[in-house]
Amino acid sequence: MTLALTPVVPGAAVSAFAASTFTVPAGPLRPGQDVTFTATVPCAAPVVCSWATADGGALADGAVFTHRFAAVGTTNVTLTVDPDPGVAGDETSETEPVAVVANRPPTGTIRVVPSVPVAGQAVQLTVDAADADGDAVTYAWDVNEDGVIDSGRPTASFTQPFAGVRTVRVTLSDGYGGSTLVAQIVRVTAFPFAAFGAQPAAPVAGELVTFTSTSQDPDGPLTEELWDLDGDAVYGDAAGPVAQRAFPVPGVFTVSLRARDADGVASFAFRDIPVRASPAPAPVAAAVTAAPPSTPTQARLTRIRPFPVLTIAGSFNRRGARFSRFTVAAPKAARAEITCSGRGCRFARRTFAPGRIRALEGRRLRPGARITVRVTRPGFIGKYTSIVVRRGQPPRRTDRCIRPTSRKPSACPAA
């Protein structure tokens, strides 16, 4: 807003405003906003500069005038310059209309990452706010539904340990009485629980084994159950709640299941299947010849009996995997040496007795993390398992054997 004013010389008559100005802040003016007008003509004594507004505001003198407009509309602002109060009739006034517009409150939308969070997962919230009047926006988040401000920034976060629905809210304010409450419903889902049984649990070579899923999802139906029946970490050998396979030779074979729910959240389960040799036919009577005594080098190494079995279950997503159960079943005389490398590991190397390994449960391991399990017993062939966490897929598992005199894994001998 500009008013042209003629420089005033004390004692001289002012005939017209021409070269000077009084200014107002740029941008829209709103009710309740303090607006400052500044005269650029000399207002030092004996010159008197007087201000008045048409909305009934108080009169004021001086080079600077601050006024708060109460209502929307156009209001005249008048600057009167009196070069010499002792001389009557030498005042000159200039009036300008000032437009006061309605304040427009800020607007915004909330972004939730991830869009479908899982119980126990950190949820990041960001509000994309804008103000049509160009005002600075302030933020007040309530993410716990308790009326308490949790964050005064454009972002906030929360972690919910259980599945359910919560409403997050943020109040956006512009400092001129305009505010907007933005709310977003966030549904927290739960990982499905993947599990399955095998019948028979300890088949003989060539016997058909039926695998039956007992997987469940606590907050909805399962939409996918895929099987890896040959241990190659590729899921799709069978689909659905039931799968079948016969193992042609004795040994310990790993079968795994991937279960996914309607939200795209998935879990996995691994299970070792010990396959026994087929019963040998009845021997035919023959002459018995005494065998020469065996030497230590001729003695055949045997596996730990019963051979160790690893049962592993958990959940996974793009951020890694979390084990809900990690169990090593082996004879009491065996020991399990476990190493863990990568982000999320609680330890680097530890030795455990057979049983449930709780130190590997409940903590998220990031993609690339590796777990190795060596189950050994002096004088016997032991079990080696390598587990590598993958992004957005079940962990890759590799099973081999360990000779008593070596730490390196090798192919398992025939049972």
Residues 148 and 274 in one domain: no
Q: Say if CB 54 and CB 99 are below 8 A apart.
A: no
Residues 129 and 201 in one domain: no
Question: Has residue 9 been placed in a domain?
Answer: no
Angle at 160 between CA 137 and CA 364, to 5 degrees: 110
How far from 20 is each of 14, 37, 280, 343, CA to CA, in Å? 13, 13, 116, 69
Residues 331 and 374 in one domain: yes
- In the prediction, which pLDDT does 270 show? 95
The total number of structural domains in the chain stands at 3
Please report, for the domain that includes residue 176, its CATH number.
2.60.40.10
Sign of the CA dihedral 343, 345, 346, 347? negative
pTM of model > 0.75: no
Last residue of a domain, one of 188, 214, 238: 188
Residues 221 and 244 in one domain: yes
Residues 115 and 204 in one domain: no
Counting Cα atoms < 13 Å in the Cβ hemisphere of 403 gives 8
Residues 79 and 140 in one domain: no
Concatenating the DSSP letter of every residue in 154-210 gives: SEEEEE-SS-EEEEEEEEEE-SSS-EEEEEEEEEEB---B--EEEESSSPBTT-EEE
Instruction: Compute the distance between CA of residue 46 and CA of residue 42 in angstroms, rounded to an integer.
Output: 10
Burial degree of 247 (CB within 10 A; 0-12, 13-18, 19+)? buried
Residues 129 and 38 in one domain: no
Question: Has residue 375 been placed in a domain?
Answer: yes
Question: Has residue 6 been placed in a domain?
Answer: no
Q: Which residues contact 18 (CB under 8 A, 6 or more apart)?
A: 4, 5, 6
- In the prediction, which pLDDT does 99 show? 86
Last residue of a domain, one of 52, 79, 100: 100
Three-class SS string for 10-63?
Answer: CCCCCCCCCCECEECCCCCECCCCEEEEEECCCCCCCCEEEEEECCCCCCEECC
Q: Average pLDDT per run of 10 along the chain, which is 415 residues long?
A: 37 41 72 84 87 79 87 86 84 84 92 91 96 92 95 96 93 92 95 94 94 93 96 94 95 94 93 87 56 48 91 92 94 96 96 96 94 96 96 94 91 79
Instruction: Compute the distance between CA of residue 49 and CA of residue 65 in angstroms, rounded to an integer.
Output: 10
Residues 172 and 214 in one domain: no
- In the prediction, which pLDDT does 41 show? 84
Question: Has residue 12 been placed in a domain?
Answer: no
Question: Has residue 32 been placed in a domain?
Answer: yes
Residues 348 and 271 in one domain: yes
Domain containing 354 equals: 196-278+300-410
What type of residue sits at position 299? A
Q: Say if CB 34 and CB 25 are below 8 A apart.
A: no
Question: Has residue 228 been placed in a domain?
Answer: yes
Residues 340 and 308 in one domain: yes
Residues 201 and 266 in one domain: yes
- In the prediction, which pLDDT does 380 show? 95
Residues 347 and 218 in one domain: yes
